[in-house]
Structure 1
Amino acid sequence: MEELPDLAGLSLAEIATLAEQRRLPPVEQWQPAHCGDSEMRIARDGSWYHQGAPIGRSAMVRLFSTILRREPDGGYVLVTPAEKLSIAVEDAPFVAVEMKAEGDGRDARLAFRLNTGDLVTADAAHPLRFVEGEDGPRPYLHVRGGLEALVARPVYYELAERALAGDDAQPGVWSTGAFFPLAAA
């Protein structure tokens, strides 16, 4: 089984290199006919289920996450060159469970580890956005191809602490030269 990296022990340059080295299948190029329902669901907490039972093997979840795609109608599918199966997603398909920050203000860089082990650095191509929910602001990080990660509450508190410590006109965070306001869009 592939060893997940320890974010705390890596520099942001090392994190960026690891993220670039990850080879993902070209799911956006695959256009098979829709074959049915996968009988899978991704819960709001990032847990994956098949036929109502949790998928306990993290390697299996990581594998399925690489063939996940967001469709133009907003739905989610698991896709291979030969088949396309619907998958239910309660909120976002990923959860950002850990953050590493280097630098302050405009020089800051924020990297996130997802529940699947993926590493994503917030930047213009991977923006953070905040949505007002019943339980307060819900931050999301764009991962790839319309797929997002819900930022876990403890990580959100780290973001909020950084935002409130800054001296910008409105509370927000910087990462890789891009500013992300904390206010819900």
Structure 2
Amino acid sequence: MTDSTKTSSTGLEALTRAAAESDKAGARPVEKWNPPYCGDIGMKIRRDGVWLYQESPIGRIALVKLFASILRKDEDGKTYLVTPAEKVDVEVEDAPFLAVEMAVSGEGRNQMLTFRTNVDDVVTVDAAHPLRFQKTKPEGGLKPYVLVRGRLEALCTRAIYAELVELAKPEDAMGEVIGLWSGGLWWEIAASA
């Protein structure tokens, strides 16, 4: 084992300990923490939701959930794992979370769309948790995202996207504006500006 590998491994262990001690359940108050930046230890979240540490998948879901609870995206657009004592880089290929399950309650303007993520966050689409559609390149299709917390979003899986399309209704008399109701708001299925 090289010195740099030993340091990175120790860094991961220290980060895991600090995260576990910072709070016992759910997302931690990472927005309130202002630790020093400690660099890049090789954390990455692939677009398929798999977390990697130095290019090796993290197979323990409990560890992934722990890391997800201390994830923060700052105003600079970068994503970090944050504890009260340190902040390290996390490379995110697309969104840090995936929306893997959807529940629908109510109808019309009273409809509520609730998503569960791959790390068991549960959010209902409303003003605090907006739904947006991003145009993909180069094919020009749309990818739906829901805001989970802070600046962290969940990309809806293809199955969830198909469910959203099935639920979509025209809002205008001409049938040109298609979207969904949730949280008392209309969410147009179109590329976000």
Q: Secondary structure at the match of 1:112?
A: strand
Structure 1 position 148 matched with structure 2 position 157: no
Q: Secondary structure at the match of 2:161?
A: helix
- Note the alpha carbon deviations across 1:58-80, whole angstroms, 9 max, x for none: 11100000000001110000000
Report deviation, 1:167: 4.0
Q: Which has the higher contact order (CA 8 A, sep 6+)?
A: 1
Pick the structure with more strand per residue: 1
| Corresponding residue of 2:117 | 114
Report deviation, 1:24: 2.3
In the alignment, which of 160, 167, 183 is matched to residue 176 of structure 1?
183
In the alignment, which of 56, 59, 63 is matched to residue 56 of structure 1?
59
In the alignment, which of 158, 162, 170 is matched to residue 163 of structure 2?
158
Give TM-score scaled by structure 1 length: 0.85
Q: For 1:107 and 1:87, locate their aligned partners in 2 and report how far apart those are by CA, in whole Å.
A: 38
Q: Secondary structure at the match of 1:148?
A: strand
Structure 2 alignment gaps of length 5 or more: 1-24
| Corresponding residue of 2:142 | 137
Structure 1 position 35 matched with structure 2 position 38: yes
- Note the alpha carbon deviations across 1:132-155, whole angstroms, 9 max, x for none: 103510110001101000011110
Larger radius of gyration: 2
Distance 1:23 1:57, change over 3 A: closer
Report deviation, 1:38: 2.7
Instruction: Give structure 1 regions of 4+ aligned residues with deviation exceeding 2 angstroms.
Output: none
Q: Secondary structure at the match of 1:28?
A: helix
Equivalent residues, number: 162
How much is the aligned-residue C-alpha RMSD, in angstroms?
Answer: 1.1
Q: For 2:117 and 2:94, locate their aligned partners in 1 and report how far apart those are by CA, in whole Å.
A: 15
Give TM-score scaled by structure 2 length: 0.81
